[in-house]
């Protein structure tokens, strides 16, 4: 992640790499950055940097790209809204026709 993608290297300090990037990808696909020995999701740090306070709700990546942490791509949503966006992007269709039921091939 670079400063253009929504997080200032100034807030990361010496953890930034020479190319201006910082952090690692989590197992969930989000950028994580360690600050003062504590791990944070980069999109939450970007929100804090831009607005001066932590988000009060869940943060949604508008375009669905978990590594696009541009502030214009982040919005606060309720848990219900966040989950509806998740299921909209990860819809399973079972052979019964019922959505959200994974279809396993044995």
Report yes or no on 10 lying in a domain. yes
**Does residue 98 lie within any of the structural domains?**
no
Residue 69: pLDDT band by 50, 70, 90 thresholds? very high
Which range, 47-51, 64-68, 77-81, has the best average confidence (pLDDT)? 47-51
The CATH number that applies at residue 51 is 3.90.75.20
E runs forming strands in 1-106: 24-25, 31-35, 38-41, 58-61, 74-77
Q: What is the mean pLDDT of the chain?
A: 76
Report CA-CA distances (Å) from 7 to 54, 68, 78, 99: 14, 11, 23, 37
50 pLDDT tier (thresholds 50, 70, 90):
very high
- Evaluate if residue 1 carries a pLDDT over 50: no
**Does residue 19 lie within any of the structural domains?**
yes
Tell me if 28 is assigned to some domain.
yes
């Amino acid at each position: 992640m670079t400063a253009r993608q929504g997080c200032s290297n100034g807030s990361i300090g010496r953890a930034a790499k020479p190319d201006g990037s910082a952090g690692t990808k989590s197992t969930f696909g989000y950028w994580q950055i360690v600050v003062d020995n504590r791990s944070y999701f980069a999109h939450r740090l970007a929100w804090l940097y831009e607005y001066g306070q932590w988000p009060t709700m869940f943060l949604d990546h508008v375009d669905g790209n978990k590594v696009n942490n541009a502030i214009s791509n982040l919005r606060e949503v309720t848990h219900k809204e966040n989950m509806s966006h998740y299921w909209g992007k990860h819809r399973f269709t079972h052979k019964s026709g019922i959505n959200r039921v994974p279809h396993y091939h044995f």
